[in-house]
């Protein structure tokens, strides 16, 4: 068996709504060249990927201008990136044979809303009364649904199911946010 590159990426969930972070976690063999590294990224709502040339061991923080979702004021401001499924393909030469592709469910905006809602819930070290306990239990359930959405997209190869769960969690969180934070 010939030596070959083992391509892999890490796409962590970040707290910055304006950044998509992607890190090369590939293992490269010394016996083959590493040429023509490229990322193809299709953002939610787009059909055509953006091509980004990369070198091995890259660690990128991409914004809307680099992803083609922001077209104005690129030098002076950044807009938030949409939550949803990003299709990310990384390849090296020959690109048709040496590649890896991921579906990444970005949940940054939803998690920001989740954490902001938690800030407005009175959670302390005392046993909560029944109404507050029900609210805390609902927040736990919502977080489980968010995690299930990520699992469906990224591990189960079920993007439609994952987005349905994402939207369900978002709807339930909005109900709680309206009660605790206000609409």
pLDDT band for position 1 (cuts 50, 70, 90): very low
Q: Is pTM beyond 0.85 here?
A: yes
Task: Output the furthest CA–CA distance in the chain (Å, rounded).
Answer: 64
Please state whether 126 falls in left (phi above 0), alpha (psi between -120 and 50) or beta. Answer: beta
The b/e string for 120-157 (b: 16+ C-beta within 10 A; e otherwise) is ebeeeeeeeeeeeeebeeebeebeebbebbbebbbeee
Average confidence (pLDDT) over 124-141 = 82
End-to-end CA distance of the chain: 61
Say whether 94 sits in a helix, a strand or coil: coil
What pLDDT score was predicted for residue 125?
66
Put the strands of the sheet holding 50-53 in their side by side order.
50-53, 38-42, 84-91, 99-106
pLDDT higher than threshold 90 for residue 148: yes
Average confidence (pLDDT) over 28-32 = 87
What pLDDT score was predicted for residue 153?
98
What pLDDT score was predicted for residue 89?
97
CATH fold of 9-106 reads: Immunoglobulin-like (2.60.40)
Where are the chain's structural domains? Answer: 9-106, 108-180
Say whether 109 sits in a helix, a strand or coil: helix
- Name the strand (E) or helix (H) holding 148: helix 130-154
> Residue 102, Cβ neighbours under 10 Å: how many?
17
């Amino acid at each position: 068996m010939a030596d070959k590159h083992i391509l892999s990426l890490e796409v962590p969930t970040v707290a910055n709504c304006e950044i998509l972070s992607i890190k090369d976690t590939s293992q490269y063999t010394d016996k083959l060249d590493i040429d023509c590294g490229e990322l193809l990224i299709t953002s939610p709502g787009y059909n055509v990927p953006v091509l980004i040339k990369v070198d091995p061991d890259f660690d990128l923080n991409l914004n809307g201008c680099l992803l083609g979702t922001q077209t104005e004021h690129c030098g002076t401001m950044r807009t938030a990136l949409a939550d949803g499924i990003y299709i990310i393909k990384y390849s090296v030469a020959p690109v048709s044979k040496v590649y890896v592709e991921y579906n990444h469910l970005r949940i940054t905006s939803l998690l920001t809303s989740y954490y902001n809602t938690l800030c407005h819930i009175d959670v302390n070290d005392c046993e909560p009364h029944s109404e507050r306990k029900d609210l805390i239990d609902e927040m736990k359930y919502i977080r489980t649904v968010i995690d299930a959405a990520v699992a469906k997209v990224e591990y189960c190869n079920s993007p439609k199911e994952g987005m349905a769960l994402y939207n369900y969690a978002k709807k339930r969180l909005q109900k709680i946010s309206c009660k605790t934070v206000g609409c």
